[in-house]
Structure formats: C-alpha cells, structure tokens
Amino acid sequence: MIASLGFILLVIALLVSIFAIVAYLLGIRQKNASLMYSGRTGVLTSFILVTISFAVLTIALLTHHFEISYVAQHTSLSLPTPYLVSALWAGNEGSLFFWCWVVAFCSALVVLQARKGERELVNYAAVILSALTGFFLVLLVFVVNPFKTQSIVPADGAGLNPLLQNPAMIIHPPLLLAGYAIFAVPFAFGISALITRRLDDLWVGKARSWAILGWLALGMGNLIGAWWAYVELGWGGYWAWDPVENAGLMPWLVATAFLHSVIMQRRRGMFKVLTMFLVILTFWLTIFGTFLTRSNLLNSVHTFGVTGIEPYFIALLVVIIICGIWLLSNRSKQLSGKNQIESMISRDGSFLLNNLLLVVSAGIIFLGTMFPAFARWFGQPDVTVDKSFFNMFNTPIFIVSVLLTGICIVIGWKKFNLKDFYRRAFIPLIASAVIVVLMFLVGFKTWYALIAYFFCFFAILSTLWQWVGDLSWRKIVTEEEKAPEIKGTKFWASKNRYGAYIVHVAIALISVGIIGSSLFDKDQTATLKPGESTTISKYKLTYNTLDVTSPSANNTVIIANISVMKNGVSIGKLHPQQTYYSGQDQTVSEVAIRTNLSDDLYVILSGWDNTTQEVNLHVLVNPLVMWLWIGSGVLLLGGLVCFWPQPLETMNLPAALKPKPENRAKKLPEPVQKQKSKKTKYLSGRRK
Amino acid sequence: MKKNKKYIIGGAIIGVAIIILAYLGLKSSLTYYYEVAELVAKGSSVYDKTVKVGGEVLPGIEKNVSLAEIKFQIVDINDTTTTINVDYHGSQVPDTFKEAAHVIVEGKYTSQGIFEATAIITKCSSKYIPATVTGVTK
C-alpha cells in the first residue's frame, strides 16, 4: 500500500517533469509566456511530488515496512532512529533517490529565484535541470525502484552494517551526494548561457553561489569521510586513494578551479572558455563519480554490487561530453574575452597556474583510478595502482598550490609591482623563514618538509598580514585593487574576499596536518603480556589487563587496559577495544586515540588470546593530525562566509536594481503593481 | 585575445605533458592482480614478486597472538578446487576479515607454495550492504 503510493508518486513526478520540459521548449519556441509559466509550475509540482514520495520512503523506514525490500535490507527493528533515517542514503536505490530529490529541490529554487531579465537564462536552465530530474526518475521507476516489494515479508530486517553506525555516517553520504547534485545547477546555467548566447557575467554570478554551496558540501563530505575512516576504520590513516574517495575528490578539485576562474572572468573579463569548460568538467565528474561508485568497473573496497544502471549513466556521460564540446566550439567566438593576461607574474597568472595544477591533479587521479579498467579493456592482465603513484604525482602539485595560495595574496592583478610586493610579502616571508629556521634548530632536519612548511606558513601569514593591512591602513591596497567589487574594508561589504582569505588559511592549516602526518608518522606493532610495555617516540605504553564483557546478548566487548607515559610522566589510560557482533558475525575495532595539537597517539587492539591474556597492539604516532580537523572547521567557516548572501546595499548591482533607501517609501505604494497576480507579474517581467 | 589563448594552449600542453609523464610513471606503481587459480597456474614465474591475489577465506583461520601471525587458506572464487595457504604477519587485520569473506591479499608467493602476505584487504560485496542481506531477500 505505502509502497504503491510512493511508486505512483514517482511515476507522476516523471510525467510532470517531461511535461515541464515540453512546456518550456514549446513556450520558448513560440514565445508563449503562459506555456513557460506552465513549465515553471511543472518544475515546482515535480519537486513537491518527489518530496512527498521521499517522505513516504522515510515513513516506511521509520515504521518498519519490511515488505519493501529496501527497508528490509537496510534497517532492523532494533536500529536507533537516527540510523533509520540515515538508511535513506545507505543503499543504492536510496542514494539515487536522494540525488534526484536534491536536483528537484535545486530546480524549484532556481525557477523561484528568477528575477526580471534572467528569465531567458533560467528557462533553459530549468529545462536542463528537469531533464536531469527526469533522468533520475527514469532510473528510480524502471531500474532501481526503492519501493520494490517482496512477497515474503521478513519478521526483522537485516540491519545496518555496524561500521556505518557512526554519527559521521549520518552526514557524510548526504553531504557528498548533495555536493554532487548541486553542481547540476552551475552546469545548467553554463549550458543555458551557451544556448542563449548570453555569455556575459549573468550566468557566472548565478552559477557562483550554487557552485560555492556544492564545493563546500563536497569538501566537507570528503573531510568528514576522512575523519570517519580515521576514527572508525582503525588503520591509522584518513585517505587511501580508493576509487570512491577519488570520485569525490576529482570534482572538488575542478570545482575549486572553476571558482577561481569565475573570479578571473568577473574581475578581469578573461578566460570565459576556461570557466565554461571547468563547469562542464565539474558536472561531468560528479556524474562520473556517481556512476563509478555504482558500477562494476573497478575493484573498489566500497562499491554497490551490480545494479543494471551502467548503460544509462554511460549514455548520460557521453551526452554531456558531446553537447559540451559541440556548444563550446560553436560559441567560441562569443566567448572571447575582452582583456589579455599581461604578465604571468601577477595574480592573474597565479590563478591561471593554480587552475592548471588543479585540473592536472584531477587528471592524474583520473588516470590512476581508471587505469585498471583501461588495462582490462585493452586485454591486459588485471592490475592495481598503488598509493605511491597518487602520492608521487600529487604531492608536488599540492605543495606548489599551497605556495600559490600565499603568492596570489602578495602580488597584484595584471602586473608585478615590486613596491607592492615588498609591502605585502616582506614581513610574512621573514616571519615564515624565522619559524622554519627555529624548526631546523629544534631538530627538524627533513629539508623537503621544511620547504613545504615554509610554503604553508607563508600562505597563512601573508593572508593574515594582508587582512591586518586591510583593516588598519589602506596603503596596502593599490590603485587597481579599487575595483567596483571592493567598496570598503568592512567585512561583510567584501565578504567574498575575506571568505576566500579564511578558506586559504584553512587550506594551509590542512596542509600542515597532511604534511606532518604523512611524513613523520611512526608505526609499531607489539605483542604484549600483562605488565609488559612498548615504547614509541616519546610515549611508553604499558599493557595491564584484558576485560571481556557482554553488554547485550548479541555483542561481546574486549577491552585492553593500557597506561600511557609521556616523557616518563603518566598521562592517563587508553582502552582500545573490539566489539564482536554475533548477528552480523563481525568484529568492529574501536581505536583509542589520544589527541593533542602536536600529535595523536593511536592504538588499535588487533588481536588477543583469552587464555594467555596476550594482546597484539598496533600503535601509531601521527603528528599534527589535529590541524587537519581544525583546518576543516575553518574551511567550513570560510565557505559559509563566501556563500552567505551579500547585503543588498553593498552589492555591485546595475543602478536600476539598487535599492534607494531615500526613495523607497515613495516608490512602494504603487496600486497597479500591487494588484497584479503572481502570474501576470511573471508575464510582464518576461523579456520580449 | 591571442596572448590568453597562448597561455591556455601552453598550459594545456604542459598539463598533457605532466599527465603523459604520470602515465609513464604509473608502470612502477602497478601491482599485478590474480585470482587464486591464475596465480597457481603461473607457477614459478610469479615466485617472490609482489602481487595481489583475490579469493575467498576458507574455514579454519589460525590466529597466533604471541607471534602476531594469522594463517588461513583462500580458495578461488570460481574454481573451488584450487586453494593457497596464506601467512600474514602483522596487525592490520580489517574488521570484516572472517570466514567466507572475499579478500585480496598482497605479498609474495614462495616456492614452498605459501603466500607471505603483507596486507589483507577485505572486499565487502558492498560498503553499504551487509553480506547477510542476500539471505534475507531470497
């Protein structure tokens, strides 16, 4: 009953989406505004239907409708409520459903937010977004129906994999999926701009805020996933270059390049082709990532099984490439920029170089990820690509990117100006050098780590120095910087700039963590009898006792009691443990982590013997990991500042759209306008 | 206009060059992957080379805590008559390692017919769907 309701809603939503596409296209062709308005209604209706259907699945999960296969496969009666909800995106059907819902939601917001003068652009964007919603609805209706029922209703469901029963797993998948799905909007605006030949800054402005939201969701999704792997999976690391991780990283890298390219286009009127190319590539990679996690293409540790959706995704990927290339080449004349890059040693140059590096990095990750599949297609023996490949090529790129983060702040737009450079860079350079020399004297002797840290400190300090300069004396800002976008030094007035500063500091902090934990980690295994101890770096761990308890009938907990000394001083106890779930016949390690700003002591109980009381411990010291998580928090803050809607008064709008506070009171009471219905207002606002 | 194009084309060439370099560098980072039966059929040609082998864990996992060692057998997924013995020394055993689990072991196959593993990777049929599901739905 509830299953048929949900399914029928999906079918109707699909029909409504098709209607919306047809109505929009006919309306555009016949210049018929009421048809376009019907299309808009269609988009909104489709969103409402998908939402209700999604709510139906949620209710089915919460009320244990085990006649629905999806509910039976991913939940059980004993599962806590938050995980019942998280089951919505725990499986293939549910996660595609969530994707679909996010696209439908974004489409509805896009048509609702359309202002006068943007309708032409929005109409085509709505067509593209409806087509995408339709694509996912086709999958849900014909291939991976989340409401599929089974004739034999089990008494209890299979439950959720205990590894996934972690708070991070409630927010990590939807953030990643939402990040993927949101990039549909910048893509739709880009393609719409190409079709309508409105290649000015309008589409870029509309696409930018959506791209920031998607970028932030994807970035935080990846970072939370890394954090989950670190605290839950118990192998001591946070990133393994697994295909599924790579699938989430590639679009994020290209989206970062896109956001920088947007700044280039808006401020300097350059690189319009590049901006367009990057938005198409980002979206292509999000679809590719969604596909990769659901195909049998690769032997990843975490893909869904065979699902039959491959041909649909391959078709979509091909369509995006062909349409993208065709439109780009066809409109290349209109895309030529009005300005030229004057010198590579300028902020323009640093942006361009940074974008190049980001795309190349994504290309290398793509190559490494897909190589096993390529090899198989060409009849080569099965191979796997080691982590060393990704590290070897991405590390230098990553370090140069961090350096560019510092450099772009201290050099001006257009041309290199030694005086400006000196004013902005001198103090940060000296300060970073002093810190690095101090590190060397204290005992850091690894030269490449010192260089990398010099870049990180320089990036952080030059950004903060510029900020201090902005706040305290205006001299640091040069003539050319007084572009219309930067009106004053007030934080919210130029929040995009300060948001970017915060993000840049965050990236440098994250780099500090990554460099420290990947170059200086220590790793040791030990087999200990009660009372014995092992030493790693400045820590001494003494194993005391083994406790075995059974908190409930279907799980057993084994805990090792370990006391820790640091430099000879007792600093407390650690309790690495293993929980055995008899229901799933699975053990889950609970690592013990003692964290502080300088390093993490990370202890895994990897084996134990009940009779001899011996234990195997895997002990790691991961320096500076905390900075990775601190940087993540700062990244979230900076991203939100960039995304936050700008106060209208400070926006750089065309004069006509600007609110005039002194005239506002007089202008508002216009009886004619007030009486207009929503629909006529829409029609009158339409461009001829 | 021309200058911008020059930079973009120049950049693209550099980018492609780096990716080609990466492709060439890829060769040294490759590890060959075999199913159990393939490995056994290869015989002496794969002895003492680092490879990955995929198979299913047979019942009878021997854990020796004082030596930090695990011994088990894996069987080819398609050909259930071919098995190899695996010795693993170390302490990074994934949580999902158990009987009947699909695993990939990385290490060297020795002339004694024992696979000296340096890493065990479990391959869940899915990250999201526990193995027991198939039992429920059928």
Long-range contacts of A395-398 (CB under 8 A, 24+ apart): A397/A357, A397/A360, A397/A361, A397/A364, A398/A361, A398/A511, A398/A514
Residue of B nearest to A348 (CA): B4
End-to-end CA distance of chain B: 64
> Do residues A406 and A463 touch, judged by C-beta distance below 8 A?
yes
Which residues sit opposite A552 in a β-bridge? A555
Residues of A in contact with B33 (CB under 8 A): 299, 372, 381-384
Across the interface, do B30 and A90 touch by the CB < 8 Å criterion? no
Identify the three-state secondary structure at position A545: strand
Name the residue type at position A50.
V
> Do residues A11 and A95 touch, judged by C-beta distance below 8 A?
no
Please tell me the pTM assigned to this model: 0.89
How far is A151 from A22, CA to CA, in rounded Å?
39
Residue of B nearest to A362 (CA): B19
How far is A678 from A150, CA to CA, in rounded Å?
46
- In which band, very low, low, confident or very high, does the pLDDT at B132 lie, cut at 50, 70 and 90? very low
Q: What is the pLDDT of residue A674?
A: 44
For A670, half-sphere exposure in the C-beta direction (CA atoms, 13 angstrom radius) is 8
End-to-end CA distance of chain A: 49
- In which band, very low, low, confident or very high, does the pLDDT at A203 lie, cut at 50, 70 and 90? very high
* Cβ-based neighbour number of residue A192 at 10 Å: 23
Query: What tokens appear for A309 in the block?
Result: 């959706």
Name the residue type at position A93.
E
Residues of B in contact with A242 (CB under 8 A): none
3-state per-residue secondary structure call for A439-456: HHHHCCCCHHHHHHHHHH
In chain B, what are the helix, strand and coil shares in percent, each to the nearest 5?
30, 35, 35
**pLDDT, tens digit, for every residue of B64-107?**
887 888 999 999 888 888 899 999 987 778 877 888 888 889 99
Burial class of residue A48, CB neighbours in 10 A (0-12, 13-18, 19+): middle
Instruction: Round the CA-based radius of gyration of chain A to a whole number and report it.
Output: 28
- Min Cα separation A374/chain B (Å): 12
Q: What is the pLDDT of residue A490?
A: 67
- Min Cα separation B105/chain A (Å): 12
How far is A226 from B6, CA to CA, in rounded Å?
39
Looking at A644-675, list the stretches that DSSP marks H as alpha helix, in order from N- to C-terminal side.
661-667, 671-675
Closest CA to A251 of A302, A145, A177, A152: A177
Mean pLDDT taken over chain A: 86
Which residues sit opposite A523 in a β-bridge? A620
Q: What is the pLDDT of residue A680?
A: 55
Residue of B nearest to A236 (CA): B92
Backbone angles phi, psi at A18, to 5 degrees: -60, -40
Across the interface, do B128 and A90 touch by the CB < 8 Å criterion? yes
Closest CA to A406 of A428, A373, A387, A384: A428
In CATH, what is the architecture of B32-122? Beta Barrel (2.40)
pLDDT at A4 > cutoff 90: yes
Backbone angles phi, psi at B119, to 5 degrees: -155, 145
Q: How many CB pairs under 8 A join A and B?
A: 180
How far is A126 from A132, CA to CA, in rounded Å?
10
**pLDDT, tens digit, for every residue of A322-354?**
999 999 998 888 887 677 777 777 888 889 899
Across the interface, do A299 and B130 touch by the CB < 8 Å criterion? no
Residue of B nearest to A524 (CA): B91
- Characterize A12-41 residue by residue with b for buried, 16 or more Cβ atoms within 10 angstroms of its Cβ, and e for exposed: bbbbbbbbbbbbbbebbeeeebebbbbbbb
Q: What is the pLDDT of residue A688?
A: 38
Backbone angles phi, psi at B41, to 5 degrees: -65, -30
- Min Cα separation B30/chain A (Å): 5
How far is A355 from A259, CA to CA, in rounded Å?
9
> Do residues A559 and A532 touch, judged by C-beta distance below 8 A?
no
Ranking A96-105, A172-181, A502-511, B65-74 by mean pLDDT, the lowest is B65-74
Q: Which of A73, A304, A360 sits opposite B136 (nearest CB)?
A: A73
Q: Which of B26, B67, B95 sits opposite A588 (nearest CB)?
A: B95
- In which band, very low, low, confident or very high, does the pLDDT at A485 lie, cut at 50, 70 and 90? very low
